[in-house]
Structure formats: C-alpha cells, structure tokens
Structure 1
C-alpha cells in the first residue's frame, strides 16, 4: 500500500500508557516444555510449480520448499506462492514454513513484550510456542494481510476489512475515490454508506439539482475497475450501502438489474459482450456489492401494507412517500434478477452496537461480516473447527476455549504495531481495537458428528460453539483490559457495551441443546459468559468488538479446511491434488467419519463411500438409511439444502457474533420473486444483521442471442395465416470430404468422424466409443445416425451445440484437446469440437466457444500481453453471460490446481456465474458472499 499511517512518533504516542498493575500468565495447551513445536513434526522438501491456464506456461515455480508432510499439496502451493516473501530465486526468498511462521509470530511476541502484555520472559516464550504450534498444525490462521506484511519491510498492515465515510460535499466525495483507491491498490476492500449525499430530487445551494449518489457510484466503479487492472493482487472488493428512506432508493435498487438488461440487449443487437469484448466496458456498477439498509419502521410498514416516507438528506423532512410493499417488492425483484442488492437490517445492527455514543453503524466491509464505526478497520483470524473434534466424536470445548484466548491476545497485540491506509482509520482502530475472530469447517464438523446442516441439532451445535468463541473472546478482552487498559472509547460507551454483553449472555441461556456435544459446549460457554460479565464490569473491555464470521477463503485453503466459514459442504466428491502432478477424485474424508458416528460398520461404510464416489450423491446408496440422507446434504447437487436452511443456520449463530456473517443464500433457478421477498422478510424476523441471495443463473443466462428474436418471430407468426412447411432432406454426395479426430475424455478414448457437404456444411457424424458390440458403442451409433439425419434435414449445428454442450455425465474430466481442456461429458466435448471446426467465429462467440489461441488473443488484444494484472474480473459481465462455459477459462494441464473442481460446481448455483481468478485465470467458487480460487488461493474479498 502506497500510503500508510504508522510512523514511530505516532506509534510512540499510541503506546504511551501507565504501567499495568498486572500482567498475563500464559499456560501451555499444546506444547511441551523444553521441546520446540518444529521438532515434533516430520518435514519434507517439495517443488511448487503452477501453470498458466492460457498456454500451459509456468507462472510460478519454487523448488525445494519445506513443509510438514501432513500439509496437503494445495496448501503448500498456496502458501508458497502467496505468502512467502522475497524475490523468487533470490537468497532472501523464504523457503520454509518455519521462516514464514517465525516472521509473524516473533513480531507479535516482540510487540507483546514491548507493550507489557506478559508477566515474564517465560510467559512470552510459552505464548510464542503455542502460537507456532497452532499455525504449524493448521489449528487457526490470521487473515492474509498478516502473512503478506507482518515482519517485512512493507507497512505492517494487519487488517483485511475497512469501512469508509463520505459526506455531502465534493471534497468528501473526491476523497472517497482517493481512499478507496489506496485500499484497492493494497489488495483489500472497503464499504461505505452513501446516504448522506443529497438525492437527485433535492436542490443545491446554487439553485441547481443534486446529482444523487448513484451518479457518483459510476466514478467510483470506474476507478475500482481501473485500479485493479493496474496490478492488484485480486479484484477490487467494495460494498455500497443506501438507506431505505433515501429519495433515490428505487434508482439504487434497480441500478445493477438495469445493467443486466443492457448486457442482454446489446448482445442481442450484435455488440461484442463476450470475454474481452470491445463493448463490455459500457457495463457499469460491476465492481461493488450493493445493499439496502432497511429500518424497523420500514419493515413494520411493509407488514401493515402502509406507505413509507423518503426523507431529504439535510433537513430530514419527508419529500416523497412510497408504498412499502411495492418498494420491498422492487428490492426482491432486483435481487431475483441479478442477486443485488443485498439487505442490511439497520435497527438490529445498531441494537447490538457496543459504541453508539461514538456514532451509529452505517455500513459494512465488502463481505458484510464487519460492521462498526465509519473510518475503521478490523483484522480477522479463523479457527479450524475440525481440529477440536476428537476421535471419539466429541468436540473439545475446553481446548477450544484456551485456543481462543491465545488467538484473541495475539490479535489485540497486532493493533499496537499495525499500520493503516489513512489517519482517520488509524485513529478509530487504535481507539476501539475491533477484532474479528471466527471459524471455518463448520459444515464438515456437523457432517462428521452426524448432524444435518439444516437440523435443530446442527444449529444447536453451531450456536453453542459460536457462543463459546465470543464469550471466551470477551472474557479474555476483559482480562486484557485489566492488564493494558480498556479501549479508549469504552468510558463513553460503558453502559451500552455492558448492555450488549448481557444480550449475548441472555441469548446463550436460551439455546436448546439436543446431544452430548452441544450440551457440553453450552456448559463451558455459559461459564465463559458469566466470567466475561463479571470481569468486564470491573475492568471494562479491551476491544469494542470481538467476533465475525468471515468467508475464510485463502486461509481456509491454507488450513486444509473442507468447508469455508459457516458454509455447508459444497459437494460430497472432490478432487485431491497429487504430489507428482495431476489429481484424483476422492469422496470427502468427512463422509466415512460421519457414517462411523452414525453407527455403520466398516463394510457398510466402504460400500456407501464407493457408491458416492461413482454417483456423487447418497440417494439409493446400499445400506444407507433414508433418515440419514439429510446428514449428507450439501450446498449443491442432487440433495441441496433448502434456502431457508441457510437462513436458519445464520439465525442460530447471529446472536453470538459481534459483527455479522458473510454468506450468500443459494436459491434454485425456479425460485420466484415472492420467495426472495420472503427470504429477506424472514431474515429480519429471525434477527439477522445482513442477508444476500443468489438465484441460480440469475445473471445473463445462456449466451444464445437467437432466443428472444425467435420468440418474437413465433408470436408474429401466430397472428398470421398458418402455412405448413415440410422439411426436405439434403443428402450428402457419394464422395464427400471428412475428417477424423481422436479424443480422450476423463480417460475414455474415442474417435469422431465428421463428413461435410462440398460447400463445407456439416452433414454427418460418426462416433466410435467403447468396444464393438457393447451397449455404449450401440447407443453412440444410434445417436450419430440421429444427429446426421437431423443435420441433413436442415437442423443447424449451432442448435445441437446449444443443447448438448454442458450436458453432464460420466465419463467427464480432462481431455487431450488443447482447445477444450475440460468436458462435462463426451457429448459436451464432441459438440464443442464440432463447433470449433464447423461454425464461424460470430456464432461460436454467441455460444461462448473459443479456441485457445482466440481466448489468449482476446485478452491480449484488449489489455496487452496476458498476465496476472489483466482485469479479468472487470469482464465479469461476459463471463456471466455464459455461466456454463467450461472451456473458457479451461485449465491447461491436469496438474493445474483447482481446475477439476469446476466439473463439480460450474453449472450449479452461484458458482456458475463466478468470476475468473485475477491471478491464474481459472474459475472461482463461492466462499461466503465472496469468491475463492482453489487453484492459487486468491479471493474476491476478505480472507
């Protein structure tokens, strides 16, 4: 980051404080006295080689890196390529995980000693060993900025989340652009509320009419797109919020939906709206998540069917009225059409605000989990919940609590030495010391313990763990307040802070438990809250907030988590990266553990796992009881979790979080506007702070431009005289040109022979697949005959391509064709190959099918030579216009990490419209309300 606020003079002033009356005694949890954690693991050397999806060239290589043998290849690759510091190939380059952990941990311990946290040298040493052990064994991880910056010559930035502020002056608006740009340049994201800006219905002092916040959003959006294409490590992540009583609220709600309409209209009119297209730059507002802030007053008006007043920004007078149901319907319809805006519940957020005397909470970070004062920041850390699940199936609440104490202590120490992008953010963060501890792997934990994600038992366990985490965090915060002092803003907000602590504790008392696990966790959580209240009443608290649930994108991969944040498992079958290159398909290791916890025997488990490996789901698995199906429900697939199941899980954990939850509720394509409206309404009723939905294929769906015009033509014909047309078969001549292509799809070998008319129109196809006389060979012969006859009767090839591309069945996977690297089935490959060989470019462009050279040329032609700095996410509209494109972007070789995962999720839910990774170009997948690249670890938001 170019501009930071840190300097020795400022830090010295910030550190000035009276000597503490007490100091922290640290006890060992994981480590043994006299033995360093590094000596207790087996280390090995590995080569990290990552390839470019465009041409197969190596875009990162570091050989001989040192990692514990227990770390996966994927975690090794991501940590080496993203977090190791120093120029690649130089002696200063980090080569071992030991160096990375030492760089960070020793900086934290040194600052802790300097600022009087520890009672003595022995306590500091134990603290160092415990942090080292937990990081080494993937028990938790700090957020990415810590790994990027701490202990280096770079500014010591530790925060991933920022909230800015903008007032109704041109100076403030221009400063917003500047501050946001600085944050984007450093690879982080920011959010802000635009509601102070006068609406387009209000007058300026000069007598003219104000531009309104939506107009200023255009400039900020363009700025974000430009900066990220100039070399950011990931896409510009931002959140824009508008209050529901702003007079421009309808325009704001419909902004992104109108842009989606623009994409459709321009594409259908023949404009180039594809990846790298010359006309895609006309699409606006694509770099931000938009959210509406609704008040209880508005929601009550919605319930009663009354109208609602829209207020002038400066005077607060009502200048217009609107039907609340109509406005809420517009909000739901826009979200149904394009997934924006999300919704934030203002009164609920501020009812849980610990510092109302210092200002209201008006906005959030881009992923919606951090919500606090304007011009503030939050550093995050997340625990890997599976590390606390014993072999006996019991969650170790006591060890979990001790781990939370150590992590919270480290997170608070980091604020003592941290640098910040602006002076206002530095000042607010140092005064209020906001922390964001959270967790990952909840979905895996629930499955492993035999709980369905959408079940009372599952929600109870999640609630008790979340309550325990936050209760222990505030208990430790109160203890730290007695050692190094409460946060500066506490005295002014003491009454409100204590009130919120009592609300958390009261919510904990209302948790209903169902099993031994949640009961034992709840008991420890209750003790933690009682102690937090008692100690806090005496000392105050060191931190204005303690916990959030972040997406845990990159750091989730670093910890080898199966699931991110609060999410359920994505699918039961995943692909495992192999040390020697390539990957293999495996059933999630959580599945056999879950079956064992449900009482199945080894023979039954083997049979069920084998069935899942073959079919990808549990329906009709041998010996699996139907009442256990729900345990294996995932976010996507044959048995996907209902939308309200996601909402209910969020509601179960929200009362035990200082902030909010980064999560998108997936909805099927068949969901209605009314169902979206009900989800947003229930979010308010259930006490959530924020909510976003994503309806499958709600972005510009299939890239066929013929659909609209064909429908219009049919409607026109229906009003005219009916004329019967009979197709005429045009047979191929006796002697015709043909070509044969050998292919391999997912290990299955075959041959495609295509014959054409003398004028080069395709007229027949023959496919040889499987042994002669086999059922597969016979079916392919019959299929080839049917397609050939259809072509001769005049059915256009592009029609067949549109119907058969993306068809999904086995065999599927990597191919040996450089133009179509991944296929979801043999037919998917065949018709993509035929399209490439026989259709002109303009028709293939409508179908989203390009050769490898064409894909590279598109990117290079518009943005220069392909590189990690190319603004691929800025072209998101065209990717979303073809959500099912498997071959663009395709991975170039089987060893490309994450490429195989696309086969499981590309056509499902939010993953279908996921952007391309800024770093490696492969398709990203959802992580909370953001996106994550499993190949290189890049994220579109907090990590």
Structure 2
C-alpha cells in the first residue's frame, strides 16, 4: 500500500517541531503519603498534567529497559526497522543498578509502538516501498505525540517491549496464527507477539472443568486481565439452579459460578497496574435464573448500606459502653453491672434501641472488666474501593440482559413470558413480561445495572451471520461480534482536527482514519491470544475497532449544543466518514492481501450491511434490507457543515464500490469506545 505524508516531511524527525517539557507525576494517599512519584520525565509541551500523569503512572514501562541496546540484523527488514536487545557487553561496564530502568520519555513509547506496527507491517507485506513504511512510521509517531489519536491500553502496556528493548519472558499459554503459513502456533515468548487487543468475547460451555468450560474461562480471563485487556461472555448456556446433572445431582445454578468469576476478576490488576480487571456478564432474558441475576447487585448494594450504617452505629454504641465502664467512679464490680451503673444502663439501652447485638455489648463489658480502656471497631464507608465493597460480590463486572424483539413485543402487549430450562427447553416458570421489564428498570435505576443488549437489532447489522449469531459483547459493549473473537481499538481525538479557522479538517480526518485502520489490521497480524479458538477466529475475521473521542468538546468549541439536531447530525456525519473510510481502507487492503478468510461465506450479508449503512448516510427513510427496526438516518438538513455530508456519502460510495470488487480485509472496522483519557 502507498502511504502519503500529511503531518511529516521525509528525511526529518516527526518530533522536529514539537517542543517537549520535563514533568513530575505523583499519586498520594488521602493521608498525604506518596504512593508513586516519577520526576523529570519528558512529554510534549502541550500535554496537560492529567495526560502526563496517565502516561507516567499507567503506560511507561517501569523496569527492565536496558540502558544500552544493540540492533539485531534481519536480512529481509530495513536496517532502521531492526529490533533491539540489551547490549550485554556495554552493560557489563556499568554498575549493576544502572544497567536497566524504566521509560522516562514519551518518545520512547511512541517509537516502540509505531516501530512495532511498522516492523510487522513490513514483514506482512503491507507497504509498497520502504518510503511508504517510513511515512507510516513517522506519521504515527507524530499523531501520537500531537494527540491526534491513540490505541487502546494493551498497546501502551505491551506493544514494542520485545521489538524496542528485547524484553521477554516465558510463554503464558497464548497462541497466534503464523501470518506466513496460516498455521496455529503456540507462543514461546511473552512479548515477541504482543497482546494488543483490549476487547474480547469468550464462549463458555456448560462444563465444569473441560476445555471452554466454566473453570477454564477463569484461566482465560486471567491471561487477558494480566495484560490489560477486558472480556465479556454470555453465560446463558449454564444450567439454572436445581437443573439435573449427569451424575444424578442438581446444579448449584448460574449465580454460584458468577460469584466465583467475580472474585477471580477482583483479585487481578489489569496490565500489572492499578487498573482493575474489566469484565462483562451477559444473560439471556429467558434464563430460569434471570430474576436472581437482575437482583444480584441490588441486594449486594443493600448489604453495603447495611455494613456501612451498622458499622458506624456499632462503633458509636460500643465505645459508649466502654466509656461508661471506664469512667465509672463506683468500686469493684459495680462499674460493670448496669443495675448499679446508670451510665452503663443507659448506654446498653441505646445500643439495644439501635439493634446492636446483646452479645457484643456483653463482650465489651467483659473487655473492660479485664482492664482495657478502649476498643477497636472498624467503621466502613461507601468508597468504591473500600472494605465494604470488597466484602460483597458482583463488583467486578458490568452486567447486561440480552433481550429479543419477541420479549419487547410481549412487554408492549402485556403478555406472559416463559423462562426455559437449558437442557430440553421446557418451560420452568411463566411470568408477566412487564413484571420482568419493571424489575430490570428498578435495578438499573437503583445502581445502573443491568444494561440492555438488543439481540435482534444487533444481529440485523451482523456482517457474518452465516458464522453464527452475536451473543455477547466486551465490558463496555462497543465491540459486538462472534464468541471467541477479539478487537483492538484506537480512537481519534476530534478536537485535533479543527483547523486554524475552527473548521473541521475533513481531509486530515480521512487520512488519519486510513492510517489507523492499517495500524489496527497490522496489530491483528502481530498479536497473540489467550486461547486456540480466539487465535483462530481473530485471524479468520480480523475485527478492528477504530473510533473517536471528544465529540462533546468538539461540539462545545463550535458553539453547538450536545443535545440538538445539529449536534446529532455532526456526530452522525463524522461517524459515517470514519466508518466508511475504514471499510474502504479494509477493501483496499483486501485488494493487496486478500479478504478475511471468513468473507466468502458471508459476502452477501456483509455487502447488505454496507448497503444499509450507505442508505443511512444518504438520509433515506426506507429501502433498507432485512432490518427489524430501521435506523435513524443522517439528517443532512440539520448539519451546519455541508462538507461533512459530502464526505460521509463519498466514504460509503467508495466502501461499497471497493468492497464489491475486492471484498474486505476485516469483518468489522469501527466502534465507539468510552475513551475518556484520549480527550485529555
């Protein structure tokens, strides 16, 4: 592929005109003690302190970076792309404590990520010439430094550690598909093939210890969490409570296993940092345990409220009992007898009124009788990371309910709804659909979970229905595709595409969309995955997740209300430009490298989906193919920038024309992820 330069100049450093500054970052506890501090590290001068903090605290490699490096020659790779390893001879001349350290300059991170993408892109045949590879390398380094775009966290954590520094370790049980042979291969290295994907959807079978079973899922999830990724699964195949087991017993039910997975996720910090594991649980609306699932977090929140309130009451009342014993002026045992100590009698009465257990009151009196003057009784709080929340379950996943149009129609018409056994499909319980819908609404009102996933609509827009239905999503629901697949994300910062006249630079945006689509596709080629099946299916479908951030800031800077027809039209146009350009780029890559292996079986459906997108970009209200619910089309009349509408339509014209001729390299190309940090 040919790569044009827009932000950089051949022969010059992409950083040449970007001033850098020295910064300090630290994390403090509420008591003022320092948890983390890094001084004198380099970031682009225009970066905010928050952006610098995220880089220093989350994304810098903290250890193992050699102080001296040497290149490893590869005859089929240009010398400037050779990977580096520790120069052991040069390091031997340095004191042991100075032989390695951590990253201290943002350019180290930009170089290792962009360099790794370019290295694997060269090996995969993505560039027409060495000049194109150079342009790709420089343009991405510039865009990273200038905050035009950023990849998902696992790229920052993992990508380039092996290529740039020779950092490695034993295999963690991952697999990849060799891009030259197409063979599934067990990884022998922790970082040679990095784990750049943030979003995973994993299957789970109704099997306790077998491959793809319940306990195996916790192992696969742990591999993902360790390297900073998130995962979601639809647990609806698991038998409900009291369903029969093959050995003659009865199942402990869905909820018992969800609680195990919740505890496992809570124990793991993603990417080895302070970020917790990201996990999505999905359950179908007809599962027999659906009511318990919907109420799960409601009851756990009530437990937290009880713990917090009860602990504070107990602390106050028990200390009052101790004080009454200690400050008593009577002699001997009289101080510990409520009949002879009025203050103690009053304290016990108040404790009973507040429902403090009598045995606790008696315990404090015995404690005082032994000569102790004070007691320790912890009071809990409602901080999300507090001991109270660590005590209850359900705090380490986003929960969603999968609903069909059939169920929603039953709600509208106030019909009955059947909950069905996992084995045999018999009806276990019948209830009013509206009652179940009301239960979901109450739970969501009480604590924002569960969310809703609209199964019918999601699958109407599925590009590969011949390969199976979409049943689940990743933790934030931006990625929805087949089970046992993965998606690596990148998002473009819309604020950076406003030019000097405060107009949106469409050409620059299209250029960035094209280059980031290529980078994400290369990331599929270079990646390793936590299971054989995910490695195989990710290679087979090659799903990508290009998105954008800062739409709110972009609208506000333009003086356009977020919740307005103009705002929605601009957002729709930008989404259409991005997605159409990404699919057109995917078709361009298919011309050079071939379509994704699963394309032929799904070609008719994928082209149907692309045509429906094009119809929406043209603002059509009718004519859509095989959609249960028509989309809200792009409203050209409400968009204040005609150039956006024209670009949106051109993007989809190109996507369908190139796709019909060459197919597509990727089964999906875009998502809108909750990329708050990119907008900083």
Inter-partner Cα distance in structure 2 for 1:268 and 1:184: 34
1:487 aligns with 2:596: yes
Tell me, yes or no, if the aligned pair for 2:201 and 2:233 is still in contact at 8 Å.
yes
Counterpart position of 2:18: 41
Which has the bigger relative contact order, CA under 8 A and spacing at least 6? 1
Q: TM-score, normalization: structure 1? A: 0.54
Inter-partner Cα distance in structure 2 for 1:342 and 1:453: 23
1:361 aligns with 2:470: yes
Inter-partner Cα distance in structure 2 for 1:463 and 1:529: 13
Counterpart position of 2:3: 26
Inter-partner Cα distance in structure 2 for 1:441 and 1:279: 35
Counterpart position of 2:584: 475
1:421 aligns with 2:530: yes
Inter-partner Cα distance in structure 1 for 2:436 and 2:259: 23
Inter-partner Cα distance in structure 2 for 1:41 and 1:277: 42
Inter-partner Cα distance in structure 2 for 1:174 and 1:163: 16
Tell me, yes or no, if the aligned pair for 2:239 and 2:254 is still in contact at 8 Å.
yes
Tell me, yes or no, if the aligned pair for 1:433 and 1:487 is still in contact at 8 Å.
yes
How far did residue 290 of structure 1 move? 0.9
Counterpart position of 1:775: none
How far did residue 278 of structure 1 move? 6.7
How far did residue 265 of structure 1 move? 3.5
Inter-partner Cα distance in structure 1 for 2:309 and 2:667: 52
Counterpart position of 1:160: 198
Tell me, yes or no, if the aligned pair for 1:376 and 1:429 is still in contact at 8 Å.
yes
Matching residue within 14, 39, 59 for 2:35: 59
Tell me, yes or no, if the aligned pair for 1:186 and 1:232 is still in contact at 8 Å.
no
Q: TM-score, normalization: structure 2? A: 0.75
Tell me, yes or no, if the aligned pair for 1:295 and 1:347 is still in contact at 8 Å.
yes
Relative to structure 1, the CA distance from residue 174 to residue 528 in structure 2 (aligned partners, 3 Å threshold; closer, same or farther) is same
- For the residue of structure 1 that corresponds to 2:268, the secondary structure is helix
Inter-partner Cα distance in structure 2 for 1:278 and 1:28: 53
How far did residue 227 of structure 1 move? 3.1
Inter-partner Cα distance in structure 2 for 1:525 and 1:409: 20
Relative to structure 1, the CA distance from residue 277 to residue 425 in structure 2 (aligned partners, 3 Å threshold; closer, same or farther) is closer
Q: Deviations over 1:497-544 (max 9, x none)?
A: 111111111111111124664421111111111111111111111111
Counterpart position of 1:122: 131
Q: Deviations over 1:244-278 (max 9, x none)?
A: 01111111111111112223344444475436977
Relative to structure 1, the CA distance from residue 229 to residue 499 in structure 2 (aligned partners, 3 Å threshold; closer, same or farther) is closer
Counterpart position of 1:372: 481
Relative to structure 1, the CA distance from residue 515 to residue 392 in structure 2 (aligned partners, 3 Å threshold; closer, same or farther) is farther
| 1:126-165 matched pairs, under 5 angstroms | 126-152=135-161, 153-154=167-168, 155=191, 156-165=194-203
Relative to structure 1, the CA distance from residue 186 to residue 115 in structure 2 (aligned partners, 3 Å threshold; closer, same or farther) is closer
Inter-partner Cα distance in structure 1 for 2:290 and 2:598: 33
Tell me, yes or no, if the aligned pair for 2:20 and 2:43 is still in contact at 8 Å.
yes
Tell me, yes or no, if the aligned pair for 2:118 and 2:133 is still in contact at 8 Å.
yes
Inter-partner Cα distance in structure 2 for 1:60 and 1:273: 25
Tell me, yes or no, if the aligned pair for 1:436 and 1:545 is still in contact at 8 Å.
yes
How far did residue 283 of structure 1 move? 1.4
How far did residue 328 of structure 1 move? 0.3
Counterpart position of 1:73: 49
Relative to structure 1, the CA distance from residue 83 to residue 325 in structure 2 (aligned partners, 3 Å threshold; closer, same or farther) is same
Counterpart position of 2:298: 257
Tell me, yes or no, if the aligned pair for 1:273 and 1:280 is still in contact at 8 Å.
no
1:341 aligns with 2:350: no
Q: Deviations over 1:683-728 (max 9, x none)?
A: xxxxxxxxxxxxxxxxxxxxxxxxxxxxxxxxxxxxxxxxxxxxxx
Which runs of 5 or more structure 2 residues have no equivalent in the other structure?
65-96, 162-166, 169-190, 315-378, 620-633
| 1:702-851 matched pairs, under 5 angstroms | none
1:212 aligns with 2:258: no
Matching residue within 181, 185, 202 for 2:243: 202
Inter-partner Cα distance in structure 2 for 1:281 and 1:81: 24
Q: Deviations over 1:97-155 (max 9, x none)?
A: 22221111111111111111111111111111211221121110111111111111252
- For the residue of structure 2 that corresponds to 1:436, the secondary structure is strand
- For the residue of structure 1 that corresponds to 2:16, the secondary structure is helix
Which runs of 5 or more structure 1 residues have no equivalent in the other structure?
1-23, 563-943
1:315 aligns with 2:315: no
Q: Deviations over 1:191-219 (max 9, x none)?
A: 10110111125322334332221121111
Q: Deviations over 1:388-417 (max 9, x none)?
A: 112323211122111100110111011111
How far did residue 281 of structure 1 move? 4.9
| 1:522-541 matched pairs, under 5 angstroms | 522-541=645-664
Inter-partner Cα distance in structure 2 for 1:482 and 1:321: 53
Inter-partner Cα distance in structure 1 for 2:63 and 2:466: 48
Matching residue within 349, 369, 392 for 1:283: 392
Relative to structure 1, the CA distance from residue 281 to residue 449 in structure 2 (aligned partners, 3 Å threshold; closer, same or farther) is closer
Inter-partner Cα distance in structure 2 for 1:216 and 1:31: 53
Inter-partner Cα distance in structure 1 for 2:13 and 2:150: 19
Q: Deviations over 1:261-311 (max 9, x none)?
A: 223344444475436977655411111111100000000111111112222
Alignment RMSD (CA, Å):
2.2
- For the residue of structure 2 that corresponds to 1:38, the secondary structure is coil
